[in-house]
Structure 1
Amino acid sequence: METETQTERTQPSRASQDLSEAIKEATKEVHTQAENTEFMRNFQKGQVTREGFKLVMASLYHIYTALEEEIERIRDSPAFAPVYFPEELHRRAALEQDMAFWYGPRWRLAIPCSPATSCYVQRLHEVGHAEPELLVAHAYTRYLGDLSGGQVLKKIAQKALGLPGSGEGLAFFTFPGVPNATTFKQLYRARMNSLEMTPEVRRRVLDEAKAAFLLNIQLFEELQGLLTPESQNQSPPQTPGLHHRASGREQDPSPAGAPRGKAPLPSHSPAPLLPWVLTLLTFLVATVAVRLYAL
């Protein structure tokens, strides 16, 4: 009993720990899952195709459009206002530049959206409307992760795809409003740690941070099933699993009974477009792995 008391005294309680550190600790397991995948290693080797990268960027456009729509709605709320940094962090405008580069002037009609991307988008809108205080979890895991790992991924894609050094097609990875990433991340964490929330809200924020990473991991697991020998031997169906949609809200409801803080599983599976699958898996899992511990 005495030993347990000493341990409790030397380790900060979950409630007294800074929110940023608590999120890092809560998401440690999903980071390990992402880090130990062969797809992350493949991406680091530069095994990425041009067509696959286009699809990845399209997914990011849909995700950030949804996230920033919801952020704009609650930007003046005490639950989010301290971490509202649109000039420094928002990615939608940069991704619009990238969409024009990859898909041409009529990109809004051409960009695809995978079922798992739709699932992510749906979760963001669901949280934004029902529990907006949880958006801080999504903002933190996405923005600071991309700010941390963006330059690494940018260099890999630039080299693998033979893209110009001036950065065309990779605006997403550039943060011109952040001259010093380390200093800015310190500011962001301090602002986030200053947010006032009840113990119950704090618990749900931590759960939502895990859900944010699980949305990426679940995409990996969904597509991994297509890589079995049985799937590879099947003929592709006539209707592809990717669909085109406007950047507005996904209308499909969440599965009934989905637990709070857990990412809903996609309700339909994409067709086995294996070249795209390999690239998308590699990129998204690499993003999770490279980002998390740089937060």
Structure 2
Amino acid sequence: MKKKKTPSAPLLGLQSPCSLAQRKPELLIPEQHVIQLCRGLRSSSFESERGRELETSSLYKRRRRARALKLNKRARQRAATPSEELNHSWFDIFRSTMETEKRTQKSAEQTVTRDLSEQIKEVTKESHVRAENTELMLSFQRGQVTLPQYKLLLCSLYEIYRALEEEMDRNSNHPAVAPIYFPAELARIKSIEKDLEYFYGPDWREKIVVPVATQRYSHRLRQIGKENPEFLVAHAYTRYLGDLSGGQVLGRIAQKSMGLKSGEGLSFFAFPGVSSPNLFKQLYRSRMNSVELTAEERNGVLEEAVRAFEFNIQVFDGLQKMLSVAGNQQRQSSTDSKAVHGKTLQILGTFSPMLRMVLGLFVALAAVVGLYAL
């Protein structure tokens, strides 16, 4: 009794190449072509122009290869036109493989530690935008900064940089601080003192006024200098590279807005020790990225970077409030002065008839006394 022939499985793409090679070798032609097609698509997505071109030329290539073999008509037809399930099975396998690779790559990127400078840039992106949109910074960007604004800003910068640089000096040998310690190139305190003396005179220290937010910022810098010196990395990066990046532009804006000549009062924006800001920033980031931190310390630095931006935003808002209060007081004083002047004139106008009568009496009395003397 002859054994019934078992029909071949409909999904040829799911059969092993060895099985196909033994039973129907001509079917390896479309199978191999689909594999090569998938390999070609690895470098271009299915939606791309290249992907569509590969799919379009698929049928032509299969037929050309089938004609090159010595096959009968039916075998040639099957080799040139494989089942739809074959294509779908291989493309499904390809898609699944690519998705798995993407997930693995994404997971690896999240696992591998990125550069600290890039992480700080990422976590402070939103805070950076908010800082740029404070009223004080918008005045700089619009070229409308006033002398009172700039003078008050210098006062706050003096207190902030004095705290930062004193703590950087004190912790200059700390493993996290030493790589980014560039006092000759970046120190700002001497430049700010020079500007304050230009605007306020020799006794400028007695005239400094800062908002409460500036005092809080300075206190925080001194606190971490004693307790967590590695957090100084976040504040130094935020302040120094921020001032170095926008210093020249903001300096020109301030000079033009306030009508200052020959850079007097603008020493804060000048970095004579840095010949190329871009190259120096690359060096600084490289040094900062080389700092060895534990996972806990790194997270603490990132949180401190966000806090540094928040402190700066609070300082800018505090300075603007001080300017608003001073402006309101000045306007109120001017209004009161005008009111007092008006009342004085009104009083004089009210008593003018009486004054004329008194003068008349004095004249009459003088005449009587004169007659009596005669």
Query: 2:197–2:203: 8 Å Cα contact kept in structure 1?
Result: yes
- Asked whether the equivalents of residues 74 and 132 of structure 1 are also in contact (C-alpha less than 8 Å), the reply is yes
Aligned to 2:226, which of 94, 119, 129?
129
Alignment of 1:231-250 (within 5 A): none
Scaled by the length of structure 1, the TM-score of the pair is 0.72
- Distance in 1 (alpha carbons) for counterparts of 2:197 and 2:255: 17
Alpha-carbon distance, 1:163 to partner: 0.5
Whether 2:237 is the aligned partner of 1:184: answer no
Structure 2 Cα separation of the partners of residues 101 and 135 of structure 1: 30
* CA distance 1:46–1:127, shift in 2 (3 Å): same
1:13-24 → structure 2 map (5 Å cutoff): 13=110, 16-24=113-121
CA contact (8 A) 2:231 2:300 kept: yes
Match of 2:290 among 194, 197, 200: 194
| Cα gap change, 1:57 to 1:223, in 2 (>3 Å) | closer
2:275 counterpart SS class: coil
Partners of 2:149 and 2:125 in 1: CA distance: 28
Q: Which amino acid aligns with 2:268?
A: F
Structure 2 counterpart of 1:71, from 163, 168, 172: 168
Matched, 1:84 2:137: no
Partner of 1:174: 270
Amino acid of the structure 2 residue aligned with 1:180:
S
Match of 2:213 among 88, 102, 116: 116
Task: For residue 110 of structure 2, give the secondary structure of its aligned residue in structure 1.
Answer: coil
Unmatched 5+ stretches in structure 1: 227-240, 242-269, 277-295
Determine if contact 2:153/2:319 at 8 Å carries over to the other structure.
no
Change (3 A) 1:189 1:109: same
- Structure 2 vs 1, CA of residues 172 and 38 (structure 1 numbering), >3 Å: closer, same or farther? closer
Deviation string, structure 1 residues 142-163 (Cα, Å, up to 9, x no partner): 0011000011110110000000
- Rounded to whole Å, the distance in 2 between the matches of 1:59 and 1:132 is 22
Q: Deviations over 1:233-258 (max 9, x none)?
A: xxxxxxxx7xxxxxxxxxxxxxxxxx
TM-score by length of 2: 0.58
Do structure 1's residue 273 and structure 2's residue 326 form an aligned pair? yes
Aligned equivalents of 2:234 and 2:100: distance in 1?
31
**Structure 2 portions without partners, runs of 5+:** 1-95, 330-374
Structure in which a larger fraction of residues adopt helix? 2
Q: Is the 8 A contact 1:97 1:171 kept in 2?
A: yes
Given candidates 303, 309, 312, the residue that maps to 1:207 is: 303
Query: Relative CO higher for 1 or 2, CA cutoff 8 Å, sep ≥ 6?
Result: 1
CA spacing shift, 1:16–1:150, aligned 2, 3 Å: same
CA distance in 2, matches of 1:36, 1:193: 29
Distance 1:73 1:37 in 2: 33
Change (3 A) 1:103 1:36: closer
Contact 1:14 1:22 (8 Å CA) reproduced: no
After superposition, give the CA deviation of every residue in 1:23-46 in whole Å (9 maximum; x if it has no partner).
000101112323445654333222
Give the residue type in structure 1 aligned to 2:186: L
- Write the deviation string for residues 249-273 of structure 1: whole angstroms up to 9, x where unpaired: xxxxxxxxxxxxxxxxxxxxx9823
Two-structure CA RMSD over aligned residues (Å)? 2.5
* CA 4–75 in structure 1, closer or farther in 2 if over 3 Å, else same: farther
CA distance in 2, matches of 1:50, 1:9: 54
- Whether contact under 8 Å (1:103, 1:110) holds in the other structure is yes
Residue-pair matches, total:
232
Residues of 2 paired with 1:12 and 1:140: CA distance?
24
Aligned to 1:102: 199
**Alignment check: 8 A CA contact 1:15 1:199 kept:** no
SS of equivalent residue, structure 2 residue 250:
helix
- Given that 1:30 and 1:210 are in contact with CA atoms closer than 8 Å, whether structure 2 keeps it comes out as yes
The aligned counterpart of 1:49 is 146
Query: Could you tell me the percent identity over the aligned residues?
Result: 53
Q: CA deviation at 1:106?
A: 1.1
Aligned 8 A contact 1:52 1:275 in 2: no
- Does the Cα contact within 8 Å between 2:136 and 2:316 map onto a contact in 1? no
* Shift in CA distance, 196/150, structure 1 to aligned 2, threshold 3 Å: same
Larger-gyration structure (1/2): 2
Cα distance in 2, alignment partners of residues 8 and 59 from structure 1:
49
